Amino acid sequence: MTEQAPVLTIDGPGGAGKGTISGLMADRLNWHLLDSGALYRLIAQAAGKHQVALDDEAALAELAESLDVAFPVEDGQPSTLLEGEDVSRAIRTEQAGERASLVASLPAVRQALLKRQRDFCQSPGLVADGRDMGTVVFPDAALKIFLTASADERARRRYQQLQEAGVDASLSSLLKEIQARDARDSQRVVAPLKPADDAITLDTTRLSIPEVVDQLTELLVQRGIVADS
């Protein structure tokens, strides 16, 4: 397939910084943003709202096809709208993440979302954040990045986020959840979590957010995807 506008895919495990980096890149480039991980969280959220069981694959796939979602970005901060309601905080709990991981393992749901995700590719460009953006959804993306970080560092970041939000959490429990989710995402039969063959892997364990954003911008400039400012 050939994209109609340039696509930057940013894949990787939870806690590697994909969401933050993707929002900042979309804002810097003035491109559209696709938070594909949020789509699965949104389906799980919508399932609860519409009383659909998380093991009803056909009903969840139907829900995915008609899901009313948007990812507006303001000052580098993306928000998530479900049926016009801002659910940015509601879908970021650990429970929401677990429910989303279960939904994401269902082949019919992933297939139903494939066209929806590709429809986000519009001029002047798209930053696509997820786990299979470069391998499945946008195989012809102009630049593919696989962000990673140690499980310990990702757990520490998540713990810090929850603390700042006033949510009580256990660092050891968060680490176990991250490791379990990594295993489930990487071992699933459909679209497992892995770098695309032509992706650039970037370990963010010891990098600051501005350093990552600058590196990605430089890669886009080097490839002639965007002009050097």
The annotation status of 19 as a binding-site residue, yes or no, is yes
Strand order in 143-148's β-sheet?
A: 32-35, 126-130, 7-11, 143-148, 200-203
The annotation status of 78 as a binding-site residue, yes or no, is no
Q: Is 181 helix (H, G, I), strand (E, B) or coil?
A: helix
Domain ranges of the chain: 7-211
The annotation status of 144 as a binding-site residue, yes or no, is no
* Low pLDDT (below 50) residues in the chain: 1-2
CATH number for the region 7-211 comes to: 3.40.50.300
Q: What is the pLDDT of residue 161?
A: 84
The annotation status of 194 as a binding-site residue, yes or no, is no
Q: What is the pLDDT of residue 2?
A: 44
Q: What is the pLDDT of residue 121?
A: 94
CA end-to-end distance (rounded Å), the chain: 30
Task: Count other C-beta atoms under 10 Å from residue 76's C-beta.
Answer: 13
Task: Count other C-beta atoms under 10 Å from residue 204's C-beta.
Answer: 24
pTM: 0.83
Q: What is the pLDDT of residue 76?
A: 67
Nearest to 161 by CA among 46, 19, 13: 19
**Tokens matching residue 129:** 């954040």
CA-CA-CA-CA dihedral for 165, 169, 175, 176, to nearest 10: -130
The annotation status of 224 as a binding-site residue, yes or no, is no
Give bridge partners of residue 201 from the DSSP assignment. Answer: 146
Nearest to 133 by CA among 3, 8, 9, 4: 9
The annotation status of 12 as a binding-site residue, yes or no, is yes
Q: What is the pLDDT of residue 3?
A: 52
Contact call for residues 34 and 128 (beta carbons, < 8 A):
yes
